[in-house]
Structure 1
Amino acid sequence: MSTGIPFPNISPELFSISIFGMEFALRWYALAYIAGILIGWRIAVAAVKRPALWPSERPPMTPQQVEDLLTWVIVGVILGGRLGFVLFYQPAYYLANPGEILAIWQGGMSFHGGFVGVVVAALIYCQRASIPLRPAADMMALATPVGLFLGRVSNFINAELWGRPTTLPWGVQFPGQAAQSCGQALGEICARHPSQLYEAVLEGLLLGAVLLWLAFRRGALKAPGTIVGLFVAGYGLARFLVEFVRQPDAQFVSDGNPLGLALHINGLGLTMGQVLSVPMILIGLYLWKTAKRA
């Protein structure tokens, strides 16, 4: 007997049109990026327009500077996310096929790589514009969870990045041969953890709600480093936990390593997502503990 919830009949494309014999489609994933960036931008602008939230009632940026920073962030997300995927998850493949490294339309983005890309872009912009780093980082961290939420929901709609097999009643029967190949008995359906939705709730809804409450109701922005520290540590912890039920990338799975651990000894270890999340947790805790109220 099959278990779990049938995957909803949702197309990964909102719509597609044909122009001069070529197909152009708007996908949920692209819309998530666009909506996440726009909503995050408005959250950042709303914060800098309230001087009372900031140390000495001086926001780190003007609304115009937030808009300028947005361009740098978009470039950092795309380049960092793609290069992170190439280096962290499939270096051998792209070393053999370097022409595909920038083929982002084929899919393959890493949050950890995108995070590094945004950090580098923000550092360059803030240095050029003489903007204080910690308050600027707090503002950016405040605006990020909504994009994470939308991105993870679109991962679910795309039926990608699903979790490990489960017999829990909320397991989802994801479509496709790969999702349905989990060693089950012939004729049975494989149900998997909807790990994308777990991450959407933890990294997006829960973490975002806590940060917004702390910033707008508890004066956390007056202690530069608090919001960004809690965001970085909170994301790292959420990702670390979800990795226990998230299906690892195929290149890490083998007969001797069925759990797909990137670092392991005698069957115990960490997935690549956990390896990359540990430094985030430590850095986030450092930023939070060294934050000083001004």
Structure 2
Amino acid sequence: MSDVKTKISPAINLIDESFDPKKSNTYHLSILSNEKSLTFAVLDTDTNKYLVLQSFSPTLKGEDILAPFKAGSIYTSFKSVTCAVAHNNFTLVPFALFDEENKRSFLEFNHPVDNEEKIHSDTLNNLEAKNIFTISRSFEAELRKHFITVHFLHNSTSFIEGLLIRNKNKKGKKVFSDFHSSYFEIVILEDGKLLFSNSFKYKAPEDIAYYILFVYEQLHLNPEEIELVLSGEIEKTEKEHALLYNYIRHVKFASPPEGFKYSYNFDEIPNHKFFSLFTQYLITN
């Protein structure tokens, strides 16, 4: 039997012709990790242009988690690296209540913490709050082996902060939902400020419609008037999207964060899919 490992090809592999490993001292690497994929985006901080987008669905565990990325053509050193984890075990705590020594207690009040997980916190400056969450110890160790100064954050932090930055001077109420393979987040802004944030697990399209309509009802939002903006792992052709149109009049998909340029290659992917990934750099620099 051959010992050669099967090469894992990226599900998305978009590389601009201007990408140059020799310029890595000007490049920022953003990583998004969830239960089904590992996605990488490279930003040229000199030109403020995203040059690379790669996504893998790794079947390898532990030490091999970065193997597909390291085997590719863009693996190099970087000026800075951020990594967001996407799962629904997180808790937002206002600055006034946050205590570094009690992070575990805050998180365990809402979510169980496994011994194989390490507790982290990041900062939402526009919300004046901390986000407490967990990261697999083995995953963190592997990333730090290759990217010593990697900054970890939760995906909800980049999602919420990105929305607060984009809607700073906007009036009225608007609902936003960011989707992942087994859960989704709902954020409601009013006059550019956070009114509501929560996450919900789902198994079927009907679950999504139920929770979103429940939030509309509880916060007395008129589904005929208040717009719903979708981002993340949801497609325009999927049943989840079609079902929402039955109940909410104004449903649209998010556009990428302003302030950046994007390689023309990125036109191959839906604009809304990686809103939070592209926002990472805005809130950590």
Normalised TM-score (structure 1): 0.24
State the TM-score, normalized to the length of structure 2.
0.25
Greater C-alpha radius of gyration: 1
Q: Report which of the two has the higher share of strand.
A: 2
Bigger share in helix? 1
Highest relative contact order (Cα 8 Å, sep 6+), 1 or 2? 1
